[in-house]
A and B are shown apart, each in its own frame.
Chain A
Amino acid sequence: MPYLEPAAVLRRFSRFALEEIRPAIDGEERFVRGQVGSMASTLRFLAGELDASERAVTTQENALHEALDGVEHTLDDHDAAATAVREALADARDTLDGTDDEAGSRIRGTRERETTLLEACDDVLARVEANLDDETARAVRRPLYDFLDARLDAQLRTLGRRNESGDGSP
C-alpha cells in the first residue's frame, strides 16, 4: 500500500501544475497552458471524488432504499396492482441487499455499487412509464426523482458545489 493519502497527493499536483508549471509556459503556447489548466482542475476534482465517493454512494444507497419504499406506499395508496412495477421493486431490493451487506461491499467496489444502484432505479422508472396510468405514474415517480436529486446533489457537492439552489440561481 502507498503511504501518502491519494487525494492529498492529487491536490498537491494540482496546485503545482497551476502555480508553478502553468506560469512557466511561454505566453505564446496558449494551447499547452490551457491543457495544464485543465489538468490542474481535473486533478482537483479527482481528489474531491476520492474523498467523497464512498460517502456519496452510501448516501445514494440510502436514498434509493427510501425511494423504493415510497414507490411501494404510493402504489398501495393508489390501490394499483402494477405487477411489473412491483417486480422491478423486488428486483431492486434484491440488488440493494447484495450491495449493502458487508460481504457485498467487500466484493464490489464503490463504482460497481453505484452502477448497480443506477441500473436498479432506471429499471423501475422504465416500468413506471410502460405500465402505469398517467396519474399513478406521476405520483410514483416522485420518490424516484428524490433519488435522482440526491444523486445529483452528491455529484455536484463532490465537484465542489457550495450553494444550495439547483435551479441555476445562487
Chain B
Amino acid sequence: MSDVTAGALESYLTGRLAADVSVSDLHEHVEGWSRDTVSFTARWNEEGEQRERRLVVRAESDAQIEGDSAAEGNDVETEFRTMAAAEDTSVPVPETYWYEGDRSVLGGRFFVVGHLPGDAPVVWDREQRQDLYRAWDEREANEGDGKADGRAKGGSENDGGSLPSQFVDAAAGIHTLDAEDVSALADCPPDAVVERELDRWVGRYRASTVRPEPAVEECIRWFRSNPPEIPETTLVHGDFRIGNILVNEGELTGVLDWELARIGDPLYDLGYASTYYFAGKLIEPIERPELACSLLDREWFYDEYERRSGRVVDRERVRYWRAFSAFVMMTIGLAGVHRFRTGETDDVRAAWFQYIVPGLIEDMLAIVREDRL
C-alpha cells in the first residue's frame, strides 16, 4: 500500500493550490485491485473564501511499484491522460486535476481527480443484482407507458432516462473518441487489432498457466482461426461493465477504472459487458442470463447502441469478443493465482480467483462449440 496519508496529501495539495490545505475524512476504497484508491476532503482558503472539495487519489499499488505486475493494464499516467481525454465526451467521468510522477510524494505515482457521488454495483451480490433487474423491469414497464428513455431535458432524446439507457449512452459516448483524441494510447490499425489482443492475452495466459487446460487451448485455436474483420478503431474502455460505473439514486454518475483502455474495436466493450461473469455468474448459473451486466437485455443493448452510435453491431463480432472477454477475465484471475503461487502477493483474493476459472471456461466453450461441432 502506498503512503496515502492526510499529511502527505496536505503537503502535496498545499504546493499545487498555493494555499494552506487541510485534508480529512480519508476513505480507502478496497473494491479495486490494481491501484490504491483513497477519497478525501480538502479544505483551503482562496481569496478570503473557504473552499471545500471531495477528491480521489489513485496511486500505484506496491506490486506496480516493485515490478511488472501492471502488465494487465496501463500505467497510472496513461490512465489519467485517458480519463482527461474522456472528459471531452458526453460520458460522465471524474474531473481530472493532477498527475504526479514523483514517487517520493506518496510512495507511488498517482493522480488526483474529483469525487463523484454513487456506488459501483456488485453483480455477485444477490441483492444488488436484484436492484439491477428492477432497473430493467421498470424501464420495460415505463416503455409500455411510453416514458422509458425519452424524458428529454432539453438535450437529445436519450438525455436522462433509465439506468439501462444511460449505460448504452456511456458505451456510445466512449466510442466517439479515436486514436487522435487520446494520444496517451498507442494507435493500432483495424487489421492488427485481433492479433494484438491475442498476442497480449495469450502471452499473459502462458506466463500464468499453472496446469494444462485442453478446453482453453481449444478456445485459443478458435480465436486464432476465426478472427473477425474490424472495420474501424476507437477508444475502448476495456473494462466496461456495471461494476465500473457509479450509480447514485438510479442515475449513472461516472465511468471509472480506465486502466485497461486501448485503441481497438468498439464492439469489444459490448462483448465484454455481455459476459455471464459480469452479470454475476461464478459457480451457479445466473437467474436472468438474457441481461447484460444484470441490467439490460442484450439484444436491446445492441439495437440501442446501433441507433445511438450509428454503428452497425455485427453480432458475430460481439460473440467473438464475448468469448474472448471470458478468456481475458480468466487470464487476469490466473495471473493473480500465479502471483500468489510465486509469493509475489499474500492477498487472499489472488488465491480465491482460481475458483472463477471453470465457470469462465464453460462460457467460452459454449460459444466456441457452436462453430467447432
Q: Which of B213, B221, B352 contacts A129 (CB 8 A)?
A: B221
Inter-chain contact A170/B285, CB cutoff 8 Å = yes
Minimal Cβ-Cβ distance residue in A for B282: A159
**Shortest CB distance A97–B (Å):** 19
Residue interface bits A14-36, CB-to-B below 8 A is 1, else 0? 00000000000000001100111
8 A Cβ contacts from B314-346 to A: none
From 130 to 162 in chain A, residues with beta carbon under 8 angstroms from any chain B beta carbon are 138, 141-142, 144-145, 148-149, 151-152, 155-156, 159-162
Q: Does B359 contact A (CB under 8 A)?
A: yes
The stretch that binds A, out of B50-58, B89-97, B361-369, is: B361-369
List residues of B (276-292) whose CB comes within 8 Å of A's CBs. Answer: 276, 279, 281, 283-287, 289
Q: How far is the CB of A153 from chain B (nearest CB, A)?
A: 9
Closest A-chain residue to B349, C-beta based?
A: A38
B-chain residues with CB within 8 Å of residue A119 when the two chains form the complex:
212
> If A35-B347, A168-B281 touch, does A125 touch B373 (CB 8 Å cutoff)?
no
Contact: B352 with A159, CB < 8 Å? Answer: no
Contact A34 B30 (CB under 8 A): yes
Residues of B within 8 A of A151 (CB): 215
CA A121 to CA B347, docked complex, whole Å: 33
The answer on a CB contact under 8 Å between A115 and B212 is yes
Contact (Cβ within 8 A) B286 A168: yes
Counting CB contacts under 8 A, is B355 at the interface? yes
**0/1 interface trace, chain A 32-49, chain B, CB 8 Å (1 if under):** 001110110110010000
* Given contact pairs A41-B352, A170-B286, A148 touches B217 in the complex (Cβ within 8 A): no
Cβ–Cβ < 8 Å partners of A165 in chain B = 285
* B28 at interface by CB-CB < 8 Å: yes
Interface size on A, residues (CB 8 A): 41
Candidate in B28, B279, B355, B363 with the most chain A CB atoms within 10 angstroms: B355
Cβ contacts A116-127/B at 8 Å (1 or 0 each): 001101100110
A170 contacts B214, C-beta separation under 8 Å: no
Give the A-B pair count, Cβ closer than 8 A: 101
- Check A152/B284 contact, CB under 8 A, given A30-B28, A38-B348, A118-B213: no
Q: Please, how many angstroms separate the alpha-carbon atoms of A35 and B348 in the complex? A: 6
Contact B285 A168 (CB under 8 A): yes
A102 interfacial contact with B, CB 8 Å = no
* Residues on A with beta carbons closer than 8 Å to the beta carbon of B347: 35
B217 and A169 contacting across the interface, CB-CB below 8 Å? no
Contact A166 B285 (CB under 8 A): yes
A156 contacts B359, C-beta separation under 8 Å? yes
Q: Given known contacts A45-B355, A156-B362, is B214 in contact with A125 (CB within 8 Å)?
A: yes
Within 8 A of A (CB), among B197-233: 211-215, 217-218, 221
Q: Contacts A166-B285, A167-B285: A152 and B365 contacting too (C-beta < 8 A)?
A: yes
| A141 and B373 in contact, given A118-B214, A163-B285, A167-B285 (Cβ under 8 angstroms) | yes
Contact (Cβ within 8 A) B348 A148: no
Tell me the smallest distance from the CB of B84 to a CB of chain A, in Å. Answer: 29
Query: Does B148 reach chain A (CB closer than 8 Å)?
Result: no
The answer to the question of B153 belonging to the interface, with a C-beta cut-off of 8 Å to chain A, is no
28 contacts between A and B (CB under 8 A): A31-B28, A35-B348, A38-B349, A38-B352, A41-B352, A42-B351, A42-B352, A115-B211, A118-B212, A118-B213, A125-B214, A125-B221, A141-B373, A145-B365, A145-B369, A148-B365, A151-B215, A152-B362, A155-B358, A156-B283, A156-B362, A159-B355, A159-B358, A160-B283, A167-B285, A168-B281, A169-B289, A170-B286
Residues of B whose CB lies within 8 Å of any CB of A are 28, 30, 211-215, 217-218, 221, 276, 279, 281, 283-287, 289, 347-349, 351-352, 355, 358-359, 361-363, 365-366, 369, 372-373
13 further A-B pairs in the complex, CB-CB below 8 A; given A118-B212, A145-B372: A45-B355, A115-B212, A118-B214, A122-B212, A122-B218, A125-B221, A126-B217, A141-B373, A149-B365, A160-B283, A163-B285, A166-B285, A168-B285
Report A's interface with B, CB cutoff 8 A.
30-31, 34-36, 38-39, 41-42, 45, 114-115, 118-119, 121-122, 125-126, 129, 138, 141-142, 144-145, 148-149, 151-152, 155-156, 159-163, 165-170
